[in-house]
Amino acid sequence: MAAHSVYSICLMCTVRCPIKVTVENGEVKLIEGNPHAAGIEGSICPKGAAGVALLNDSQRLKKPLIRSGPRGSGQWREVSWDEALDYVAQRLKEIKEKYGGRSIALAERAHLNSHISKTLVRALGSPNYFTHDSCCKGSLNTAFRTLTGYTDAQVGVDLGRARHVVLYGRNIFESLELKQVKQLMKAVENGTKITYIDPRVTVTATKAHRYLMIRPGTDLALNYALMHVILEEGLYDKEFVERWVLGLKELREFVEPYTPEWAEKETGIPAYEIVSLAREVAEARPAVVFHYGYRCSHYLNETYFRRSIIMLNALMGSIETPGGLFFKKGLKDVGKKPLNKLTDQELPEVEDIRCDKVGTPEFPLPDPNHGVVQMLPKAILEEDPYPVKALLVWRFDPMLSIPDYEYNRQAFMKLDLLVTIDIQFSETAWISDVVLPESIYLERGDSIQEASGLKPALYMRRPAVEPRYDTKPGWEIMKLLAERLGIGHYFPYRTLEDLWAYQLNGTGISISDFEEKGFVEFSDKPLFWDRKDGLKLKTPSGKIEFVSSLLEKNGFPSFPKYEPVPPPPEGYFRLMIGRCAVHTHVSTQNNPLLNELVPENVIWINDRQAEKLGIKDGQMVEVISSRGREVTRAYVTNLIHPEAVFMLHGFGRRVPAQTRCYRRGASDTALEENITDMVGGSPALQHVLVTVRPISKEERGTGR
Ligand SMILES: Nc1nc2c(c(=O)[nH]1)N[C@H]1C(S)=C(S)[C@@H](COP(=O)(O)OP(=O)(O)OC[C@H]3O[C@@H](n4cnc5c(=O)[nH]c(N)nc54)[C@H](O)[C@@H]3O)O[C@H]1N2
Ligand SMILES: Nc1nc2c(c(=O)[nH]1)N[C@H]1C(S)=C(S)[C@@H](COP(=O)(O)OP(=O)(O)OC[C@H]3O[C@@H](n4cnc5c(=O)[nH]c(N)nc54)[C@H](O)[C@@H]3O)O[C@H]1N2
Ligand code: SF4
Ligand SMILES: [Mo]
């Protein structure tokens, strides 16, 4: 058979780049970027290209499995789909009967089919739907809502037209989104400046015009000093601020004591650098981006730090303007009906509070649409506010993506039922009772994506090849499970085409409209609201609330006094974490191609500190925190601040069936403490302190 191509959406990470898949004789020959998609123009990242290796990976999940030995023993019985789904449904019914619908929770990485899983949870009578959001950027979500009434997901950055971009540990050229990388590279060629702030010299730092090695955890002090200079020297956009900002006077009084000289002591960044940054950025306004994310699970002051970044954008007037931040436009904004979602149906009302207590006076501000997933282990273990007995996990690995591996394990082992839908043996799948194998993205279609932005569009993930093994798409698994639970009527589809038709019904768009390019676009020019009178802010005042009614109504101050993240005591380091360009969180460490490129992580340690501790470059070291002990190789360098050490997330794996990454490198999750920013909802992953010590060959085997 001749080669043909299929337009689809990548899922090697969750950025969702549009792709073109070349298929010949049922084999994927090549994956490229979709050449029709603006901003992508055919390009792909290393992970995207390695989708072929995932498709053909012999260590994928191939059949439904029911545990036949103790949890985590690796003893499984291969079963038919009917047996697996009957078993799960039966157990869920029993649990619901005994403990109520609220005792069933579902946790997932938000994805295209999330409207389906949300429907399942609601129809079961449970409030306990969780996404990964809090562990990624929950406090940013909250920060945006306190200022604008919108979540961060409803806002974007126009990097291509920005003239100055300020990045706070936003390692944009390694922790990448293809489109943003391309936009920013092009902008830099045209003279755009980058300021990069990180205690560690990343690839992005090496491309920046100005790099500031900040003391870990002190970015908020830097921002208060920047605001101090901007307000004192009148560098802000007066017209914009006057029209749209509530609370400038209060901010001015608040930042009065936070001088550049004060911030120098706190951050280690010279006062003159802070002053010149403020002036230089102001010259480029309003085409300025102070990038606000993503990773907002760093420290306990995260909500206020993210608020300060967004406020800097507002001061520069860089909101709803080319080269600044913008509110995303959807189908509604072009006069079209948005896609239908299963959650639009009338679903049973759920009265119970969430088990993470989000939405109660104890935890009022995090987004209840996502929940705070790192509270789940505690809720399970302590049965507070009530017992949670069953957990369904889909496209998520909470064992690794919630800090504190041992605590997670204890909690999940206590469940009466743990079911995981994955494509490979995640750490959570490994200790599950039932494992349901999903077809990978190249073998399945999913719900249509409504991609809002400056130019709203719809994208479609379509199957390129037949499933290799006895796997099913997740939307079908949900439907089959729902039927067995007596709630099948909420899932009015059988086939993928039915699901698409349901979404498109009444929109005037048809499935065939996606044929030509794989997507449908609804505007040929970027859509901005009128900055004079047309910003549709959703705060009670209709303004950008520096003084926030949402915060203050719930008992939190808008401007709390600066509390330093304390420097580590002698001999201790802050453990910083991050990603590299060739791996996705915890998903790709076992991918045959990507594993070859980066097979393990190392621990970055400052050269002067290493010398004091007698650690040589490349030597094996043990890293100890209050929660665990890990062993890996030291990377001794002057490219990291002396108060911190750094490792890549997602290594040091415990599942023997994933042979390529098994026990390679160290697990950050095993070292982290599960403590949360109780305002915004993110875990403070980098709050944890560690010691590092060289070890001999003999010592290496002891413990983990
Ligand atoms: N300790 C610690 N925790 C963290 C972070 C950290 O740095 N350190 N980072 C945080 C961030 S930013 C994020 S976004 C989250 C990410 O957290 P996760 O979503 O848990 O991480 P991923 O690696 O994206 O994917 C998790 C699982 O999805 C599975 N998967 C991949 N494709 C498919 C599919 O098509 N179908 C199904 N059913 N499963 C699939 C993978 O095999 C993997 O087991 O973690 C957060 N948590
Ligand atoms: N290749 C690849 N790309 C990805 C992903 C992936 O898994 N792989 N995941 C995507 C997702 S879900 C996300 S959330 C984004 C994450 O993208 P980023 O937000 O860029 O996150 P990280 O990779 O965690 O990088 C965090 C950086 O913060 C630095 N840092 C630590 N402490 C401090 C501090 O106190 N101050 C400052 N200024 N910096 C500090 C660390 O040294 C590190 O370099 O990447 C996305 N893109
Ligand atoms: S960034 Fe890479 S892995 Fe992620 S969706 Fe895009 S091509 Fe795929
Ligand atoms: Mo993330």
Q: Which of 7, 11, 15, 55 to mutate to test the pocket of ligand 3 (most atoms within 8 A of CB)?
A: 15
pLDDT in tens, 443-495: 999 999 999 999 999 999 999 999 999 999 999 999 999 999 999 999 999 99
Is 207 contained in some domain?
yes
Per the structure, the count of domains in the chain is: 3
Give the atom of ligand 1 at the shortest distance from the alpha carbon of 427.
44
Which amino acid appears at position 575 of this protein?
Answer: L
Asked if pLDDT for residue 298 goes beyond 80, the answer is yes
- Phi/psi for 246 (5° steps) reads -110, 120
Full domain range(s) for residue 183: 159-323+529-553
Q: Residue 537: which CATH number?
A: 3.40.228.10
Q: Are strands 602-606 and 644-648 parallel, antiparallel or unpaired?
A: antiparallel
pLDDT in tens, 561-610: 999 888 999 999 999 999 999 999 999 999 999 999 999 999 999 999 99
Average pLDDT over residues 388-393: 98
How confident is the model at residue 702, as a pLDDT? 46
Average pLDDT over residues 391-400: 98
Same domain, 676 and 623: yes
Which residue's CA is minimally distant from atom 8 of ligand 3? 48
How confident is the model at residue 701, as a pLDDT? 60
pLDDT in tens, 61-115: 999 999 999 999 999 999 999 999 999 999 999 999 999 999 999 999 999 999 9
Same domain, 263 and 180: yes
Asked if pLDDT for residue 417 goes beyond 60, the answer is yes
Tokens 């993503």 — which residue?
294
Is 141 contained in some domain?
no
pLDDT in tens, 527-567: 999 999 999 999 999 999 999 999 999 999 999 999 988 89
Tokens 């290393």 — which residue?
46
Rounded distance from Cα 162 to ligand 3 centre (Å): 23
Looking at the DSSP bridge assignments, the partners of residue 20 are 7, 32
Q: Are strands 245-246 and 417-422 parallel, antiparallel or unpaired?
A: unpaired
Q: Which of 13, 31, 173 to mutate to test the pocket of ligand 3 (most atoms within 8 A of CB)?
A: 13
Same domain, 293 and 185: yes
pTM for this entry: 0.97
Distance (Å) of CA 196 to CA 132, 184, 318, 329, 484: 27, 13, 18, 29, 53
Residues 6+ apart with CB under 8 A from 430: 72, 74, 654, 655, 657
Is 408 contained in some domain?
yes
Rounded distance from Cα 426 to ligand 1 centre (Å): 9
Q: Which residues keep their CB under 5 angstroms from ion ligand 4? A: 136
> Ligand 2 pocket by C-beta < 6 Å: which residues?
13-14, 136, 168-171, 175-177, 197-200, 202, 214, 216-217, 219, 294-295, 298, 576, 578-579, 581, 583-585, 646, 686
How confident is the model at residue 293, as a pLDDT? 85
Is 104 contained in some domain?
yes
Q: Cα 657 to the chain's mean position, in Å?
A: 26
How confident is the model at residue 224, as a pLDDT? 98
Question: DSSP code of 614?
Answer: T
Structure-block tokens of residue 482: 């729902």
Q: What is the mean pLDDT of the chain?
A: 97
Which amino acid appears at position 674 of this protein?
Answer: N
Same domain, 165 and 272: yes
Structure-block tokens of residue 343: 């959650």
User: Is 136 touching ligand 1 by the criterion CB < 6 Å?
Assistant: yes
Same domain, 318 and 225: yes
Q: Residue 614: which CATH number?
A: 2.40.40.20
Same domain, 271 and 301: yes
Q: Residue 383: which CATH number?
A: 3.40.50.740
DSSP, residue by residue, 260-308? HHHHHHHH---HHHHHHHHHHHHHHTTSEEEE--S---S-TTHHHHHHH
